[in-house]
Amino acid sequence: MLPVRKEIDKNNSFVKHIAIHGMDALSSAGLRAAIDDESDLQALAPVGSPENQSTGRTARPDVVVAEWVGGSVKFDLLPPSWVDSQDPVPVVALTDGWSPDDALGALRSGVRGLARRADGVSMLVQVIRFVACGQSFFTPSVIDSLIGRLLERLPVGDVCAMGKLSRLTAREVEVLGLLARGQTPAAVAALLSISESTVKSHISHLLDKLDLQDRAQAVVFAFQAGFPSADSPRS
């Protein structure tokens, strides 16, 4: 006897809507099916599809999953409201493999989630879910490709990360730990119930105290000091 497929209710406010951009038809269809199998996710019709043309509008998604091709996501092919600098739709970028330069380039362009095809659909769905909830998330394989490059940017002789933590206030340590988890300043502000400007002030102070140049170096420092990373299980 064949198993009965569980009916999924998509008519509730908790469902996140996902747009797929720039993929070939077969890959897009497979990913849409995987997304629609999740109770809290729903794939939207592709931009320019008959479904959208019949309504005369393109629904704004919670996340765009896009192909990373030739060192970029084709943002210019997305509806302008999706890439508005004041309120852009967060993007998850997918490719066959991330070089450190490509991964860093994606982060600089505003991509919030990075994944490889080899990570599998279930991992990609997890990345989508994290990004849809306002977080940044990179699969372990992507983090591995970044760590070596980021370590090269640490100041020479910085080998006592644990000892340097004593320079920070309790709140600065808390902010550093959340950055190591892949949280953005806005997400840190929400989690700590403080303003984003206060979070940025804490980040500036901890960078100065630790002799670091930017948040990327702060994340690597946190790894060295033993903080859990974005893919570590939560206690």
State pTM to two decimals: 0.57
Q: What are phi and psi of 185, to 5 degrees?
A: -55, -40
Given this model, what pLDDT does residue 148 score? 64
CA neighbor of 109 nearest in space, from 62, 146, 76 = 76
Per-chain mean pLDDT for the chain: 78
Q: What residue type is 48 in one-letter code?
A: G
How far apart CA 127 and CA 111 sit, in angstroms, is 12
* Class of residue 143 by CB neighbours under 10 A (exposed 0-12, middle 13-18, buried 19+): buried
Q: What residue type is 208 in one-letter code?
A: D
For the beta carbon of residue 173, count every other beta carbon within 10 angstroms.
18
All domains of the chain in start order, with CATH: 16-149 (3.40.50.2300), 157-224 (1.10.10.10)
With 60 as the cut, is the pLDDT of residue 154 above it? no
How far apart CA 15 and CA 35 sit, in angstroms, is 11
- The pLDDT-based confidence of 150 (bands split at 50, 70, 90) is low
If one compares 118 and 78, the residue with the highest pLDDT of the two is: 118
Given this model, what pLDDT does residue 82 score? 82
pLDDT tens digits, residue range 61-95? Answer: 899 998 888 777 777 677 777 877 677 888 999 88
If one compares 57 and 70, the residue with the highest pLDDT of the two is: 70
CA neighbor of 147 nearest in space, from 138, 156, 135, 157 = 138
If one compares 231 and 117, the residue with the highest pLDDT of the two is: 117
pLDDT tens digits, residue range 27-55? Answer: 888 888 999 898 889 998 766 555 554 44
